[in-house]
């Protein structure tokens, strides 16, 4: 294991230093994968990314972000970041489209 760590440090010296120093850290709560989806959705409270994944396009995405920000469900800073991602990477950058009855269909599988 020490060889692997040494190889990593040689290949990525700056990243290795950041990991050691732990000076910069950020919580990531928008990364999704099929394996990470909950199997039981009882009591599940969808977040803004869930709503954005139901949108057809950028216009709907902007409406959702504006609505959630206005209601105080997301911070202004987070809304800015979401709008930037929407504009630069598109609506599907939040994940694949969730169709109607998404959760019902997931429970059957």
Q: Is residue 6 part of a domain?
A: no
Q: Is residue 3 part of a domain?
A: no
The CB density around residue 82, as the number of other CB atoms within 10 Å, is 22
**Residue 1 pLDDT exceeds 80:** no
**Residue 12 pLDDT exceeds 70:** yes
Question: Which residues lie below 8 Å from residue 55, measured CB to CB, with a gap of 6+?
Answer: 61, 64, 91
Provide the token pair at 105: 């269909």
Span 21-44, average pLDDT: 59
How many distinct structural domains can be found in the chain? 1
Total residues found in the chain within this entry = 109
Band of pLDDT at residue 42, cut at 50, 70 and 90? low
Span 35-53, average pLDDT: 71
pLDDT for the residue 29: 61
Q: Is residue 21 part of a domain?
A: no
Q: Is residue 90 part of a domain?
A: yes
pLDDT for the residue 65: 95
What is the C-alpha separation between 83 and 65, in angstroms, rounded? 7
Q: Is residue 54 part of a domain?
A: yes
Task: Name the residue range of residue 82's domain.
Answer: 27-108
pLDDT for the residue 38: 52
pLDDT for the residue 18: 76
**pTM to 2 decimal places:** 0.55
The b-or-e profile of 4-34 (16+ CB within 10 A means b, else e) is eeeeeeeeeeeeeeeeeeeeeeeeeebeeee
Q: Is residue 100 part of a domain?
A: yes
Q: Is residue 15 part of a domain?
A: no
User: pLDDT (tens digit, 9 = 90+) per residue, 46-103?
Assistant: 889 999 999 989 999 999 999 999 999 999 999 999 999 999 999 999 988 887 665 5
């Amino acid at each position: 294991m020490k060889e692997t760590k040494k190889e990593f440090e040689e290949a990525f010296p700056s990243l290795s230093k950041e990991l050691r120093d732990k000076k910069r850290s950020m919580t990531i709560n928008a990364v999704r994968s099929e394996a990470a989806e909950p199997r039981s959705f009882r009591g599940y409270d969808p977040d803004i990314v869930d709503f954005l994944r139901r949108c057809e396009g950028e216009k709907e995405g902007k409406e959702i972000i504006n609505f959630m920000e206005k209601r105080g469900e997301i911070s202004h800073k987070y809304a800015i970041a979401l709008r930037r991602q929407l504009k630069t990477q598109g609506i599907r950058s939040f994940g694949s489209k969730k169709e109607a009855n998404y959760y019902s269909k997931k429970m059957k599988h």
